[in-house]
Amino acid sequence: MGDGLCPTSACSSQVRPELETTGPLPQSVNMEPQKQMSLNDNTIIRLVEVRKSFAGNEVLKGVSLDVEAGKTTIIVGQSGQGKSVLLKHILGLVRPDSGQVIVDGVDVSRARGKKLKEVRTKFGVLFQGAALLDSLDVLENVALPLRQRTKLKDAEIRRRVIEKLQLVGMADQLDKYPAQLSGGMKKRVGLARALQLEPQIVLFDEPTTGLDPVKVKDMYKLFFETQKLLKYTAVIVSHDIPKIFNLSDMVAVMHDGIILAHCSYEDIQRSENDVVKTLINDTMGSIYSSDQVEQ
């Protein structure tokens, strides 16, 4: 299944997806058999040969990736390798020049209007800078999905907002505005907002960027606790290598617009590919295990 970049049997690469084995597909997907990837029924996100250029600069050069439901997949790679662009493709914010992005059976690269909106209701997103609406206070930011997508009464909205803010330890900051919060606090509020409607999938774009080591650990702890409680599928994009590997079920290494390797973190540590080695093995000293974080 691998192409030689990653030596272990569990490790796959999407550099040449036409070499991958066939498997069942989501209902709405219609692909040629030779372009199908290994897939089990649990796959919730699938990218097939996704290519994207901006002003002649090819950022994604044929990315293929499967994300299993209920699991944590971490996409790592150095800055500027196209990781955030990949996330935007999954969300349907950017459309690929070619290829497919399938989320729960719907091709978001072609979906528009209501259909795209329906797919997006499955997502919660924690953006790199939290992307809180700076004209709204914490309460209103976290209440926004409820106000816009439900018909709940004010009292119930407030109760649910406080419940989610308690989960991230921010329930005492209701009336603060984003400009009055630190980077870590913003991310906590952003996470509370992302989890407000208890989505199936939560995407984290560089969740620890700009945080000090203590806050990084807190963030991971928070991630563990919320995932345990809400059982969402997590996709984490990060260059925080390899501190977050032990949080994951699968790790995808992205380099120069392609996925170099996609396997468990134990397998990826044994990779003999030079780029993967450079990215991971040279900096292996500080892995956070889930046990450590839980402590």
State the minimum distance, in angstroms, from the CB of residue 151 to other proteins: 8
- Beta-sheet strand order (sheet of 258-263): 123-126, 201-205, 233-238, 72-76, 250-255, 258-263
Size of the site for other proteins (CB under 8 A): 22
Residue with tokens 């290829």: 99
| Site track 133-152 with other proteins (rule: CB under 8 A), x = hit | xxx--------xx--xx---
- The torsion angle over the Cα atoms of residues 57, 15, 26 and 120, rounded to 10 degrees, is -40
The β-bridge relationship of strands 233-238 and 57-68 is unpaired
State the minimum distance, in angstroms, from the CB of residue 247 to other proteins: 22
DSSP 126: E
CA angle in degrees (0–180, nearest 5) for 143-131-243 = 110
Contact 194, 164 (CB under 8 A): no
State the minimum distance, in angstroms, from the CB of residue 169 to other proteins: 21
Among the listed residues 91, 185, 222, 235, the single contact to other proteins using CB under 8 A: 91
DSSP 266: H
Residue nearer to other proteins on the CB measure, 134 or 282: 134
State the minimum distance, in angstroms, from the CB of residue 116 to other proteins: 9
- Stretch 195-224 residues interacting with other proteins (CB under 8 A): none
State the minimum distance, in angstroms, from the CB of residue 193 to other proteins: 8
Binding of residue 125 to other proteins (CB under 8 A): yes
Residues that bind other proteins (CB under 8 A): 88, 91, 93, 117-118, 120-121, 123, 125, 127-129, 131-135, 144-145, 148-149, 193
